[in-house]
Structure formats: C-alpha cells, structure tokens
C-alpha cells in the first residue's frame, strides 16, 4: 500500500472522480433510446466480457473461499443490484437535481458507518463540517429542482436515499473485510452478483434486449460506460479504498454533480444552474476539508 506519494494518490482520486462524473452524461445519452434496466444490464455484461478474459490471461482466478464470495456477493448486490434498482426507480418520480442532492448523502452515511465499523476511520469535526458544506453546495446548484410533490415523489426520494446508503455500506464492508482481495477480483465478482437482479428487472419490465433499437449514440455510450465507468472506475475505486479509506473515497459524490453539470453544459449545451459558481466553491472547499481532515474527535 505504500510507495505512492500523497500527490499521486490525490491525482488518481481526481481522475476517478472525473470518470464517475462523466458517467451521468453518457447514461443520459444512452437512455434516450434504450430502457434503463436494459442499458445497465448490457453495460455489466459487456464489462464482464472484458474482465473475465483479463483474469484468464493474467492466470488469476475469482475468489475461491466461500467467505470471500459471501463478501463479494453481498457488496455486489448492494453496489450494483440494489443501488441501480433504487436509483433508476426513484429517478422516475423526482428531478435530477434532487437525485444529485440525495446521492450526495453517500459520504455522510459512509462517515457514520465507518465510525462504527472501522477503527482507523473515526470521523472528525472538520470532516463533518466539510460534508455539510458539500451537501449545501450541491443544494445551491440544484436549488430550483428541490421541490417534492405527491406520495410518488416521497417514495422516489426514499429510494434514492436508500441507494446512497447501499453504496456507503458496500464500500465500508469492503474496506473492513475485503482489502486482501485484488481490485479485479472484487470488480468482476461484484458485477456477476449485481447482474442477477438487473436482469430480472430487465426481463420483467422491459422485455428482450435484442428487440431494442440500439442507436449509434447508445452504443458509444454503452462502450464508454462498460470500459471507463465499470472496468476502470471500479478498479481505481478499490485501489484508492486501500489507501485513503471509505469516507474520502465516497467524498467523490459531492464533486460529481458539479462536474456533471459542467459537462452537460459543454457537451449537451445545457444551461448552467444559477447557483453553479457559489455551489461549486462550497463543494471544492468541502473536498479539501474532507481530504485533509484535522484531529479526530475523542472517542467515548
């Protein structure tokens, strides 16, 4: 785990954050033509067609111990099964801005769960203040989209919040029990575990994926999401998790909405929200506070 300078690790953090931020742009392009569960399922299938041959070429195997498969299966179900299912379902009833704000709760959940489960990730008052500032920044950017009307929107909010909790819990569990596993083992095993519920949703609600009209933009988006957004981004996530911990890793979800808004303005010519400048400043300050925390709070 040693041998890498803090600057190099921080650079990898920002590269990974940029990849995750661009994912929303390509999802938006892809689901214009392809149903969401179908799109997500085929994305994982394509990613596995890359990862499994790489494993074989390197002479490596998937986890062999039953306890490792319990870990991989549980976290894969949380991160790729329940997470995607909750996000896609909830997104039908709430605005994308509200979705982004609720997703920004990931590091807050991670902070609390890690404080309980991980001895080396006790939270600090400085980190708590940073996370609050980041959530406020995301809220400022999407202030005009935070309205909730009707019971469906309420349940949509609950679903997206549950997705954020699943992500935080999944990464903390991996940090506690799975650091002995290589990133490619974790990524491949979790995709296999997470694919099952997505396929069930796809065939139940969207039908045969071969009957879908796969346009060129959808195919390009699919390839990018499978290679960059699944294979590379997940591998980098687990590389970082061993070096900086769950809380700092999950802090990406504060920065991702800001970069996603900027990419949408540049690529899709979407209008920038009025609060982008102020909210962005809050998010960047928040990121610095979380990645460079002060003295931890005394344990009781």
The residue extents of the domains of the chain are 6-291
Q: What is the pLDDT of residue 273?
A: 82
Instruction: Give the span between the Cα atoms of 279 and 134, in whole angstroms.
Output: 8
Q: What is the pLDDT of residue 94?
A: 79
C-alpha closest to that of 98 among 30, 168, 161, 152: 161
Among the ranges given (15-24, 156-165, 270-279), the one the predictor scored with the smallest mean pLDDT: 270-279
Question: pLDDT, tens digit, for every residue of 171-210?
Answer: 999 999 988 888 888 889 899 888 888 888 889 988 888 8
The one-character DSSP state at 80 is I
Q: How many CB atoms lie within 10 A of CB 33?
A: 16
Mean pLDDT of 100-109: 85
pLDDT, mean over the chain: 86
Q: Please state the separation of Cα 38 from the chain's center in Å.
A: 19
Among the ranges given (48-62, 65-79, 159-173, 273-287), the one the predictor scored with the smallest mean pLDDT: 48-62
Of residues 103 and 122, more confidence is placed in 103
DSSP 159-195: HHHHHHHHHHHHHHHHHHH-TTS-HHHHHHHHHHHHH
Mean pLDDT of 281-286: 92
Mean pLDDT of 121-127: 81
């Amino acid at each position: 785990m040693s041998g890498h300078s803090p600057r190099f690790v921080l650079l990898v953090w920002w590269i990974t954050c940029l990849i995750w931020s661009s994912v929303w742009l390509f999802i938006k392009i892809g689901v214009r033509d392809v149903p969401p569960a179908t799109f997500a399922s085929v994305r994982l299938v394509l990613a596995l067609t890359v990862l499994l041959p790489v494993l074989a070429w390197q002479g490596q195997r998937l986890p062999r111990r039953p306890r490792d498969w319990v870990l991989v299966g549980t976290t894969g179900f949380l991160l790729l099964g329940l997470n995607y299912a909750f996000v896609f379902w909830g997104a039908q009833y709430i605005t994308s801005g509200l979705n982004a704000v609720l997703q920004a709760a990931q590091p807050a959940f991670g902070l609390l769960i890690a404080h309980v489960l991980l001895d080396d990730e006790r939270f600090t008052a400085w980190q708590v203040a940073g996370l609050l500032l980041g959530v406020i920044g995301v809220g400022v950017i999407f202030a005009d989209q935070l309205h909730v009307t009707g019971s469906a929107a309420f349940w949509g909010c609950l679903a997206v919040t549950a997705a954020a909790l699943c992500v935080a819990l999944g990464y903390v569990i991996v940090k506690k029990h799975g650091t002995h596993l290589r990133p490619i083992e974790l990524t491949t095993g979790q995709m296999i575990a997470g694919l099952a519920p997505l396929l069930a949703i796809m065939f139940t609600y969207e039908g045969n994926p071969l009957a879908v009209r796969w346009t060129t933009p959808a195919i390009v988006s699919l390839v990018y999401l499978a290679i960059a957004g699944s294979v590379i981004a997940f591998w980098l996530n687990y590389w970082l998790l061993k070096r900086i911990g769950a809380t700092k890793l999950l802090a990406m979800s504060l920065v991702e909405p800001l970069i996603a808004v900027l990419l949408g303005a540049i690529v899709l010519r979407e209008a920038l929200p009025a609060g982008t400048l102020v909210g962005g400043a809050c998010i960047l300050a928040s990121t610095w506070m979380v990645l460079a925390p002060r003295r931890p709070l005394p344990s009781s």
